Structure 1
Amino acid sequence: MSGLRTSRPEAGVVLLQMHRPEHGNALDVELKTALRDTLAEVAADDTARAVVLAGNEQVFTVGQDLAELHEALRRDPARAGDTVAEHYNPITRLLATMPKPVVAAVSGTCVGAGLGFALACDLQVWGEGTTLGTAFAKVGLTCDSGLSATLARSVGAARAARLVLLAETFPVEQGLEWGLAGDLVAPGEVLPTALALAGRLATGPTRSYAASKRLLADAGHRDLEASLAAEAAEQSVLGTTVDHLEAVGSFLARRRPVFTGA
């Protein structure tokens, strides 16, 4: 059992649920490998037009499985950290860069790499009362899963430094006041809300979403002229798509567009 459940609750939507409830959905090698490989498959699948990453109502994930890490350290301390390059980096990269929207459905507890995964997603739905935290300093480590970038981008560099160095947990409500984005709903409504959002995105202009993800991801590294050039290049390609032609035609015909992702 990999600890990952995959389903397609409606056309175009892929639901990935981390499922090791007896271990707090802790990320062991089987779950990390399954998540990495499945995300790669979904990223390349044109029939998948939106993705939801979820845990359960009690926990998104507590992060790395420390029992497994302890055993890896006992066997070979020099290789125990290889999981960052082998698993955490590819998972985070796939969530952030796949050419379709990804929604995180987060409820209960979300710490360590779990918080990194959630913030790597394009959109987030949070359950009321969810506990967030960086956790890494508590085990003598530093950030992985992109958290050094995504947390600073969300709440500011100074506050991110405090959250990382002190490793104090905080309620999601406080995080939203600090700058985290996303919808806040009752715990039992997290997954239905995320699936509804993904369903909406799955019927949208998929290639437009992919272009927007690329532009936004690189925005912090470009000056105005470079940004204008990148936007012009993306618009030039999108202007030839079936979805763009459909959108313009439907506007003129005063009807709702039907996007196919082409």
Structure 2
Amino acid sequence: MEILVCVKRVPDTAENEFELNSAGNDLDRDDLVYSVNEWDNYAVEEAIQIVDNVGGSVTVIAVGDDESEEVLRREMAMGANNGILLSDDAFVASDGKGIATILKAEIEKGSYDLIMTGAQADEGAGQVGGMLAAMLDMPYASLVNKIEPGDGKIIVGREIEGGNQEMNEVQLPCVVSIQTGINEPRYVGIRGIRKVASVDIPVKGAGDLGIDAGSVGDAGAKTKRVDYFVPDMGDGAEMLEGSTGEIIEKLIEKLKAKGGL
């Protein structure tokens, strides 16, 4: 089975303290620590496990700048066979539709049975997987937490309202968005990273993909972020400060005081 997994380089929520930029329309990203999007990491692990069981290969693909190559190499060190970087100044500030358009152009140049994305990335919109499936005219399943490969199809499980599990048969080729918890992503050691350090990762721009630069990036974006702010605390709200452990202790004490525990 030929599997393509879309991955993204995002700020690491465990390693950063986030502040807004001076314009108030984005995070201040100058000194942030980045890593692979958590949902995407689960998708790569699931793809590797499927290929280990039924054969085939896993390709990871990212839309981003040159630094996104480190995310691709990490996932290749994890076990993906190939990487592709889609990078062009024209891609900067693409919205969900723009990202899906860029990915579609490259996907149509290959032959994939299964295309996987994370359920969401750092913007949290969860749009790209569904848009990509619609553009490719492929079946789509979101929030997938179980995959059973079959002959020309897969059985996918989805957690739905009330904690119930929904099982669906989906014909290949298809697109699925992976939920966290579907597996336990494997540890990536320094030996694996060194092994793929010199592997060639092709970089493709708008011209290589046959994309009109005006249809993606800021010029082609149908949605734009106009404000980004920390909401004011309502009456009775209190912001707990300190380390994670200290905040937990303070919260427990407050819950006890109010009869919650």
TM-score, normalised to structure 1, is 0.27
Which has more helix, going by share of residues?
Answer: 1
Higher strand share: 2
Greater relative contact order: 1 or 2 (C-alpha under 8 angstroms, separation 6 or more)?
Answer: 2
TM superposition score normalised by structure 2: 0.28
